[in-house]
Amino acid sequence: MKKINWIVIDGKADIKADLIRYIPEKVETEAGYRYVTVHSNQEFENGTIEFSVKLNHGRGRCQVVLSSTMGVSDLNIGVNVLGSLYGIIRWDTQQRKWEFINAAGNPDTLNTSQELRIKITVFGSEIVLYVNEIEILRSTVNVRKSQLKLALQSEKEILVKNFKVTTIKPKAFIVMQFSDEYNQLYEEVIKPVCESKGIVCERADEYYTTNMIIDDIIKSIKESSLIIADITPDNPNVFYEVGYSHAIDKPTILLCDKKRSKLPFDLTSFRTLFYENSIAGKTQVEQRLRKYLDNLF
When the pLDDT of each residue in the chain is averaged and rounded to a whole number, the result is 89
Percent of the chain with pLDDT over 90: 60
CB atoms within 10 A of CB 188: 12
Mean pLDDT of 229-236: 91
Q: Which of 198-207, 209-218, 269-278 bottoms out in mean pLDDT, i.e. has the lowest? A: 209-218
Q: What is the pLDDT of residue 29?
A: 79
157 pLDDT above the threshold of 90: yes
72 pLDDT above the threshold of 60: no
128 pLDDT above the threshold of 80: yes
Q: Which of 29-38, 73-82, 187-196 bottoms out in mean pLDDT, i.e. has the lowest? A: 29-38
CA separation, residue 120 to residues 15, 19, 37, 220 (Å) = 22, 19, 19, 19
Of 81, 6, 44, 270, which is closest to residue 165 (Cα–Cα)?
44
Mean pLDDT of 192-219: 80
Greatest extent of the chain over all pairs of C-alpha atoms, in Å:
68
CB 108 within 8 A of CB 51: no
Band the pLDDT of 70: cuts 50, 70, 90.
Answer: low
Percent of the chain with pLDDT over 70: 95
Question: pLDDT, tens digit, for every residue of 284-293?
Answer: 888 899 988 8
The domains found in the chain, sorted by start residue, are: 6-167 (2.60.120.560), 171-296 (3.40.50.450)
Q: What is the pLDDT of residue 84?
A: 95
Q: What is the pLDDT of residue 210?
A: 52
DSSP track, 34-66: --EEEEEEEEESSEEEEEEEE--STT-EEEEEE
Q: What is the pLDDT of residue 283?
A: 83
Q: Which of 62-71, 135-144, 200-209 bottoms out in mean pLDDT, i.e. has the lowest? A: 200-209
Question: Phi first, then psi: what are they for 288, rounded to 5°?
Answer: -70, -35
**Nearest-angstrom CA–CA distance, 54 and 52:** 7
**Could you tell me the pTM of the whole model?**
0.86
Q: What is the pLDDT of residue 245?
A: 92
Question: pLDDT, tens digit, for every residue of 252-284?
Answer: 999 999 888 777 767 777 778 888 877 667 788
Mean pLDDT of 242-251: 90
**Mutual orientation of helices 236-247 and 213-223 as an angle, nearest 10°?**
40
